[in-house]
Amino acid sequence: MAERPADRRPERLQRQVVVALESVGAIILDRRIRFEQPQLWKTKGEVLSRLRDQGLSVGWERTRSCSARRSQRHGHHGCGICGGCVLSAVSARVAGLTQPAGHYAFDILACEDKALADDGSRRAMSRGERAVAARSLGLMQEFAHLAVTPDGVLIADREARLISRNDPGFAQMKLLGLLRQHHAEWATFMSCLPARSWVREIVGQP
Of 123, 145, 126, nearest to 134 (Cα)? 126
Q: Which pLDDT value is given to residue 15? A: 67
Give me the mean pLDDT over the 154-159 stretch: 91
For 81-92, the pLDDT digits (tens) are: 999 999 999 999
> How many CA atoms lie less than 13 Å away from 103 in the CB half-sphere?
23
Q: Which sequence spans correspond to the domains of the chain? A: 63-203
Q: How confident is the model at residue 12 (pLDDT cuts 50, 70, 90)?
A: low
DSSP 78: B
Mean pLDDT of the residues in the chain:
87
Q: Which residue has the higher pLDDT, 139 or 117?
A: 139
35: how many CB neighbours lie within 10 A of its CB?
10
How far is it, in rounded angstroms, from Cα 185 to Cα 94? 6
Mean pLDDT across 23-42 = 86
Tell me: pLDDT of 38 over 80.
yes
Q: What per-residue confidence (pLDDT) applies to 62? A: 87
What pLDDT sits at residue 14?
A: 65
Mean of the pLDDT values across residues 25-44?
86
What's the Cα-to-Cα distance from 151 to each of 144, 148, 175, 184, rounded to whole Å?
A: 12, 9, 13, 18
pTM metric for this prediction: 0.81
Q: What is the mean pLDDT of residues 108-136?
A: 87
Q: Which of the 8 DSSP states describes residue 6?
A: P
pLDDT, residue 86, reads: 95
State the DSSP code for 104: B
Residue 87 and residue 184: Cα distance in Å, rounded? 14
